[in-house]
A and B are shown apart, each in its own frame.
Chain A
Amino acid sequence: MDNLVIAGKAYSSRLLVGTGKYKDFDETRTAVDASGAEIITVAIRRTNLGQNPEEPSLLDVLPPSQYTLLPNTAGCYTVEDAVRTLRLARELLDGHTLVKLEVLGDPKTLYPNIVETLKAAEILIKEGFQVMVYTSDDPIAARQLEEIGCIAIMPLASLIGSGMGILNPWNLQIIIENAKVPVIVDAGVGTASDAAIAMELGCDGVLMNTAIAAAQNPVLMASAMKKAVEAGREAYLAGRMPKKLYSASPSSPVEGVIGNMSGK
């Protein structure tokens, strides 16, 4: 089987999805299931103190027994906030150590702050966390994050929520070539072809949220993304034909064309 292995566990789906921005929990669950994703990201937030205690919680809809939850540090701009958030996540999820670290550097672009990301990753790894790390598409940052022990490198395709697709396939290719841990494109995918291209480049997986949640029909887009990731992966494994400007080698036989005009 062609599985994605994360922290020693094999997953048949190479699509990882977020759970934000859906209109309700029902849509979240239906879209997640249509995507076939087995690893899903969740955010950690202060509980709403005035909340109706009867209101269902996300974990009732997406129970940890059925999915691998990936708590994130979305919205964290400092090492301290990111580390505290994931310590809370580990307590919340009964000692769960697989996490997605992101330390942002700018509220307008949500571009990652690599210096702070490295510091936070180092602390978390020392504390026994298995860190999947959101980063820029800088191959040196990716290498350093791998060297300190991150278990998956997750470079952006383009900015979070932008839907701009893969802006620098060459950098991604260098990251993929050098990495010995899974490389998962995280952020920037806008539509199915973007996900397919990421997989054709040789990424081990794709993580997305907005591309599905902000589609006109999120559940249908979730299904499209599932197919795109599978198609891209198969195309990568199959090995594409070389690109040529033109080819004097048509697919149909050159001999035997009626009228005896060919081959002369």
Chain B
Amino acid sequence: MIQLIVNGEPQVVPSPDSGADSGTTNDARLNIRQLLEHMGLQGKRIAIERNGEIVPRSQFDQPMLANGDKLEIVVAVGGG
């Protein structure tokens, strides 16, 4: 399991290899695409910041997410 803070709320997400032996889970890393699928946000028009830095869409397949990462996932909403 990987523990993240998403939009200010704790989120526990299964690691991609959670079926494998437990010794590797600490090093297991998730990519953004897997996280979005887990949260039902795949295909949505969103932007993501990880620990204060923008994550470009081109990096959504890179296994970068680790325990304790702080993520912001935003959308456009009505505003003046």
Contacts and interface: CB of A to CB of B under 8 A. Distances in A.
Contacts of A18: 78-80
A90 to B, nearest CB: 8
A123 interface: no
Interface residues of A, number: 36
Interface string B35-53: 0000111001111110010
B76 interface: yes
Interface residues of B, number: 27
Judged by DSSP, the binding face of A is: mixed
Interface stretch (B2-10, B13-21, B23-31, B61-69): B2-10
B54 A45 contact: no
B73 interface: yes
A92 B9 contact: no
A59 B46 CA distance: 11
B78 A58 contact: yes
A84 B11 CA distance: 22
A259 B57 CA distance: 86
Contact of A84 (B8, B41, B46, B52): B52
Contacts of B12: none
A-B pairs with lowest CB-CB distance, top 8: A43-B79, A18-B80, A209-B80, A92-B47, A91-B47, A19-B78, A46-B7, A20-B78
11 contacts: A21-B80, A22-B78, A43-B80, A44-B47, A45-B74, A46-B8, A47-B44, A88-B47, A88-B49, A89-B76, A91-B47
